[in-house]
Amino acid sequence: MPKLTRRESLAVAGAASAGSLLLSAGGQAAPAARHKWVATPPREAIRARYFPNYTLVDQNGVEVRLYDDLIRDKVMLLNFVYTSCNRICPLVTDNLVRVQRLLGSRVGRDVFMYSFTLDPKTDRPPVLKEFARKHRVGPGWSFLTGKPEELEQLRRRLGFTDPDPERDQDLENHIGNVRYGNEARQLWGACPGMSRPEFIVESLSWVETPRTPTRD
């Protein structure tokens, strides 16, 4: 059998491809394949996967919805704590108070801070309020409790877990990280809760919406 030249090989391949687009009867083009799935916008996919719209309660006893009230269209810092912790929680909380002071009046307006309890059976709103008062937390920072199973699911979805299952179940070993993000821009990051306050503020600036310069 004679060897085909490169041009002849391409011609044969092209003819085969063209033929595959035709029906065996009638010579009509085959209809386009119909996908059984519909593309989900990235923002909606992130919301559905990480932020179920649970009902939570803040330190003032006010009910809020996780996504609708706390996350949607917000720039935020968030972490997990519990009030009876004697190790990492007080240290991270005090460090984030320094972050809050660096951000000043922007907290509660441009940036929101959320601390979710790891011990919702103990950390009811009055307990959380006293914890915030003890650490001299300013306005714009919410301490949140809710149903234990929902807060546990939220902790896992947001990645505040230890790969060792036994350590993960021990509250004393919980991860003292902080997540920061801009929900509208779908930008998220994390850093140790004991990072320098200036570094946490700088990290937060990486996800913020750039401000349009004002003209005089």
Specify the CATH number for the domain of residue 156: 3.40.30.10
The verdict on residue 11 lying in a domain is no
- Domain assignment present for residue 69? The answer is yes
Structure tokens at 178: 């902080």
Question: What's residue 13's pLDDT?
Answer: 44
Residue 189 lies in a domain: yes
What pLDDT is stored for residue 8 in this prediction? Answer: 46
Provide the pLDDT for residue 38: 60
pLDDT at res. 20: 42
In a domain, 5, yes or no: no
Would residue 122 count as lying in a domain? yes
Does residue 4 fall inside a structural domain? no
Model pLDDT, residue 175: 80
- Domain assignment present for residue 10? The answer is no
24 belongs to a structural domain:
no
Average pLDDT per block of 10 residues along the chain, 216 residues long: 47 42 44 58 89 97 97 97 94 97 96 97 97 97 98 93 81 85 95 96 91 56
- Write down the number of H helices and E strands in the chain: 7, 7
This prediction's pTM: 0.78
Range of 137's domain? 42-207
Residue 55, pLDDT score: 98
Q: How many domains does the chain have?
A: 1
- Structure confidence at residue 12 (pLDDT): 42
Task: Give strand ranges (E) for the chain.
Answer: 55-58, 63-65, 75-81, 112-117, 141-145, 177-182, 187-192
